[in-house]
Amino acid sequence: MNIAHHQDLAETTGFPLRVSAAMAARLDMPGVAAQFLPDGRELVVSDLALVDPIGDEVHSPVKGLTHRYPDRVILRATLTCAVHCRFCFRREVVGDAGPLAEADLAAALDYVAARPAIREVILTGGDPLMLSERRIIGLLERIAAIPHVDLIRLHSRIPVVSPERITPALVKAMDLRPAVWMVLHVNHADEIGVEAEGALARLVKGGVPVLSQSVLLRGANDAPEILEALFRKLLMLRVKPYYLHHADLVRGGEHFRTTIAEGQAIMAALRGKISGTALPQYVIDLPGGHGKVPLGPDYLAAGPKGHRIRDPQGVWHDYADPDRGLLRAVKSG
């Protein structure tokens, strides 16, 4: 595929075109192309779009670290990625800045070490697996040395977009005392080639549980059949779908955003049709740093017996909570 004119358009948007070798080989697939090739609509400026869509900076006590929830922090170990996803909520900051400077990294790790309430360190970016193997292993070891950290989570696109980086040595280094979990970012089954399948198999066989997160993207995966194919494929690769994110308010990304009703309808179409193990939670990251919230769809409403609950076919059923008064009247034992 000739991508020269795409390159020019990408430069105009200020977010350069970048695809890994594995994705370049799959750009003829519409579900892949829509994620990585720039689109003239990126130049449309919406009043709704934000530079920091999910409020990373609102709860950032030290550079590169966001502490929004009591028990976990995210650490942006590098701002470099193997691919540039046009819908990225960090597209304003992702680029070639490279790894967090050692002084900032040390300050971030000191912050974690000084707070026993932090049980989990989530490595994100950019893409943390863009760091050199030596740096990744060193970072895992430094986090593992903090006694109260039980979990390390890696949020990455690498197993799919640059599967060759998932080396046996890297997988071996993930076999640590704080359990290492991976959350794979993948949006379409067409992204997953045989090399990616191999990388995921290495991780799973190496003892790393793998979850997935996807972004609901208008024009790329906003149909129940497309997501069904993705989630089924992930389960076969022993990857559990975790989150389906509503697209963020990204500058230049409005054309990717579905309505919430559209997202709920897709989830409702999947519920009851495909394995419950295949279903992620549909969530929105509230602008302003207020956190992630499940978006339903809603199956519960008020009714004459207390509740009415909608089944997957759309039929409503009455449902009552326990009658505590009645239970109290009969003494136990």
Ligand X SMILES: *Cc1c(COP(=O)(O)O)cnc(C)c1O
Using CB under 6 A as the criterion, which residues of the chain lie in contact with ligand X when the complex forms?
Answer: 54, 66, 68-69, 72, 74, 122, 292
Check binding of 157 to ligand SF4 (CB under 6 A): yes
Biggest distance spanned by C-alpha atoms of the chain: 79
Check binding of 88 to ligand SF4 (CB under 6 A): yes
152 strand-pairing partners: 121, 180
Check binding of 77 to ligand SF4 (CB under 6 A): no
Q: Least separation, in Å, of the C-beta of 80 and ligand SF4?
A: 8
Residue 16: DSSP 8-state: -
CA distances from 225 to 122, 144, 252 (A): 31, 41, 27
Q: Least separation, in Å, of the C-beta of 294 and ligand X?
A: 10
Check binding of 295 to ligand SF4 (CB under 6 A): no
Q: Least separation, in Å, of the C-beta of 227 and ligand X?
A: 19
The number of beta carbons lying within 10 Å of the beta carbon of residue 45 is: 10
Cβ proximity to ligand X: between 120 and 228 the closer is: 120
Cα dihedral angle (126, 279, 226, 297), rounded to 10 degrees? -100
Given strand 281-286, what is the order of strands in its sheet?
65-69, 72-76, 120-124, 151-156, 179-185, 210-216, 239-246, 281-286, 291-294
Cβ proximity to ligand SF4: between 85 and 152 the closer is: 85
Given strand 316-319, what is the order of strands in its sheet?
300-303, 306-310, 316-319
Cα dihedral angle (206, 122, 257, 223), rounded to 10 degrees? 20
Check binding of 278 to ligand SF4 (CB under 6 A): no
CA distance 40 to 36: 13
Check binding of 94 to ligand SF4 (CB under 6 A): yes
Check binding of 54 to ligand SF4 (CB under 6 A): no
Catalytic annotation, residues: 68-69, 72, 81, 85, 88, 90, 248, 285, 292
Cβ proximity to ligand X: between 129 and 226 the closer is: 129
**Residues 294, 300, 303, CA angle at the centre, nearest 5°?**
155
The answer to whether 49 touches 254, Cβ cutoff 8 Å, is: yes
Helices 224-236 and 260-270: crossing angle in degrees, nearest 10, is 50
Q: Which does 68 bind (CB under 5 to 8 A by kind): ligand X, ligand SF4, none?
A: ligand X
Cβ proximity to ligand SF4: between 126 and 178 the closer is: 126
Q: Which does 122 bind (CB under 5 to 8 A by kind): ligand X, ligand SF4, none?
A: ligand X
Q: Which does 86 bind (CB under 5 to 8 A by kind): ligand X, ligand SF4, none?
A: none
Among 85, 173, 208, 268, binds ligand SF4 (CB under 6 A): 85
Q: Which residues are annotated as a binding site for [4Fe-4S] cluster?
A: 81, 85, 88
Summarize as ranges the residues that interact with ligand SF4 (CB under 6 A): 81, 83-85, 88, 90, 94, 125-127, 157, 185
